[in-house]
A = this chain, B = another copy of it.
């Protein structure tokens, strides 16, 4: 049950509505955790019921009212005990890797196409993350920001996300090229020679 903690961690940066959190426009959480709006609305209501966040209605004109949430002291305490508890090991869980695992037994063409598409997505994400990092550190260079900044958690998680996306891109491209070359070889083998 880490979604609630991800929400609490995100709310350390200020007041947000469920809609805002869902958009992932905010800082970093979206890079390593993802949740659908319905989940967030439900989780925020539950957290409010337990007194871990406090919500306030903001009346708007020209658009629907919204509820902005902040972390309460009880919520901070909950985060504190979460952070101190043992972390579960993580692993990659990805459809595309399953497909590559099976690539010797199935047609490689769609797998190659998906690898290239994923590489493009990863590249786009590295740019978004790069821009986010620049925004977070402001005028400072990275070392100085990390030494003296007051809110470095989101920066650190963004760095992890950036490295992950870069690795993803490189592996996808390398793997796609390799599979494409093998297909070309095999076709040549069948044709003649």
Q: Given A80-B107, A105-B79, A161-B92, check contact A153 B32 (CB 8 Å).
A: no
Main SS class of interface, A: helix
In A88-125, which residues have CB < 8 Å from any B CB? 88-107, 110-111, 114, 118, 121
Given the complex of chains A and B, what is the CA–CA distance between A154 and B171 in angstroms?
14
**Are B28 and A118 closer than 8 Å at their CB atoms?**
no
Q: Given A93-B33, A99-B87, check contact A12 B104 (CB 8 Å).
A: yes
Q: Given A92-B90, A101-B29, A153-B103, check contact A164 B161 (CB 8 Å).
A: no
**Are B82 and A182 closer than 8 Å at their CB atoms?**
no
A86 close to chain B: CB less than 8 A:
yes
In the bound complex, residues from chain B placing their C-beta under 8 Å from that of A114 are: 86-87
Given the complex of chains A and B, what is the CA–CA distance between A34 and B6 in angstroms?
22
A163 close to chain B: CB less than 8 A:
yes
**Are A106 and B76 closer than 8 Å at their CB atoms?**
yes
- Nearest chain B residue, comparing its CB with the CB of A86: B114
A44 close to chain B: CB less than 8 A:
no
Pairs across A and B, CB under 8 Å, 22 listed: A5-B102, A8-B102, A12-B102, A28-B101, A32-B93, A33-B97, A34-B93, A76-B105, A79-B102, A80-B107, A83-B110, A87-B95, A87-B96, A87-B99, A88-B95, A89-B118, A90-B93, A90-B96, A101-B157, A105-B153, A147-B185, A164-B167
Binding site for B on A (CB under 8 A): 2, 5-6, 8-10, 12, 28-29, 31-34, 71, 76, 79-80, 82-84, 86-107, 110-111, 114, 118, 121, 146-147, 150-154, 156-157, 159-161, 163-164, 167, 170-171, 175, 178, 181-182, 185
